[in-house]
Structure 1
């Protein structure tokens, strides 16, 4: 059975072909959707095709690093590493706080992650986290607190089974946000209910589903009750 990535690539090829044909016929609506081959930038509004467009731009390591540089994202490449038979990290680097036009930083700072994850984080931070906080909370985000990126382990720390995306530094767990007015929004505390904080968290979860290959929230299971699991790749899992 073809793997998920192969299916996604074929879908992308089919979409691009459809765009070429219908675009030639003067279908401006397809251009508005991003199906005309335009590159995606860190300022492009998030939409249903964001993940596809982003991965088309950053699918190769050199292209990914060039995309981050053009976006003004501080990303310092690190040496590939293999800690165990299933803990192999390649094309990774440390993600700095700097993104042109933003003051949001990560805590802990400068986590190691794959280039594709860094690109997805840049798009989500600029296109979702920042504007959603201003709209729903009336404040800017100053810090995003995370529980880690790289961890040499299998899913749920089991002794056998599939390796976690964290074993490839391809996923980050976001736990909360520090705002410019001193408030802190916590996934564990504020996810339930219909408060402004809950609406903010659900908005950025929904946007993340269009940027990351896998997005898991407290709605998924108890193991994710205190964070948003954001994993780069084609995927398509959103809970």
Structure 2
């Protein structure tokens, strides 16, 4: 009985050795001096919701999935990242209108960098863009890539409406404007119409940080947040004097967490403030 068990074990070992040797044929041997065979990975079972090239924003957390969400073109955080556009050549010639616009930016103490022309095809272009990093003592985070006319409208709104409203309601100046999207080559969500972002004529404001440490999210405030509501309602309504479009929470789901400001050229001076 013992001999039979030993013979059975030997037979099992010989079969295992035989299978290993057959798998290690010359076709499967690694050539240390030549190219290594390429491994083929099986596809992941979980679907990927966005291209792998889409950046991840550590500040945008998808609570439903329990992790960070990928960004999509309709997400205002898509261009919240600083763009790496090259500076403008010192030899570039400015039109009279553009030169006057930049002089006005300087009068308002706007810190900006002239950029080289942006042309990504179609409507996605700014001939003479600027990157705004601060408006007086108010930091723009991240710096916003805009047309000069949009930069000027936003600077005037910040100086004449936002800062005074914050001082009146919170007794504090404004430290930082957190923007989620300036220039971005994209269309209006669910349409074939080019967004004003694609021309550098739009800016999305996500939050306003005060010198006293308060941070006011544009997302619809709680029922008893009277002071926050008052400030947001004021600056939103006053924006209609500087922009041709002002959209925010309550307009639709896409604008639930930010103000969208733009200077779209509309007929008969029409303004869309909602």
TM-score (norm 1): 0.68
Partner SS for 2:165: helix
**Aligned twin of 1:237:** 272
User: Higher strand fraction: Structure 1 or Structure 2?
Assistant: 2
Give the number of the structure with larger relative contact order, counting CA–CA contacts within 8 Å between residues 6 or more apart: 1
Determine if the alignment matches structure 1 residue 174 to structure 2 residue 205: yes
User: Higher helix fraction: Structure 1 or Structure 2?
Assistant: 1
**Aligned twin of 1:114:** 147
Instruction: Provide Cα deviations, 1:124-179, integer angstroms capped at 9, x if missing partner.
Output: 111011110111122221111111101111001x4x51100111111010011111
Paired residues for 1:2-17 under 5 Å: none
Determine if the alignment matches structure 1 residue 187 to structure 2 residue 218: yes
**Aligned twin of 2:123:** 86
Determine if the alignment matches structure 1 residue 62 to structure 2 residue 69: no
**Aligned twin of 1:144:** 177
Partners of 1:174 and 1:201 lie apart in 2 by 11
User: Residues 154 and 192 from structure 1, CA distance in 2 versus in 1: closer, same or farther, beyond 3 angstroms?
Assistant: farther
**Aligned twin of 1:132:** 165
Instruction: Provide Cα deviations, 1:171-221, integer angstroms capped at 9, x if missing partner.
Output: 010011111221111111427666100110010001111111211111321
Give the aligned length. 176
Larger radius of gyration: 2
User: Residues 59 and 217 from structure 1, CA distance in 2 versus in 1: closer, same or farther, beyond 3 angstroms?
Assistant: farther
Partner SS for 1:190: coil
User: Residues 192 and 129 from structure 1, CA distance in 2 versus in 1: closer, same or farther, beyond 3 angstroms?
Assistant: farther
**Aligned twin of 1:4:** none
**CA RMSD, 1 decimal:** 2.1
Partners of 1:76 and 1:82 lie apart in 2 by 18
User: Residues 172 and 80 from structure 1, CA distance in 2 versus in 1: closer, same or farther, beyond 3 angstroms?
Assistant: same
CA contact (8 A) 1:139 1:180 kept: yes
**Aligned twin of 1:31:** none
Match of 1:211 among 242, 253, 257: 242
Partners of 2:170 and 2:125 lie apart in 1 by 40
CA contact (8 A) 2:220 2:256 kept: no
Match of 2:231 among 200, 220, 227: 200
Match of 1:163 among 175, 194, 200: 194
How far is the alpha carbon of 1:96 from its aligned partner?
2.4
Q: Which sections of structure 2, spanning at least 5 residues, go unmatched? A: 1-94
CA contact (8 A) 1:143 1:179 kept: yes
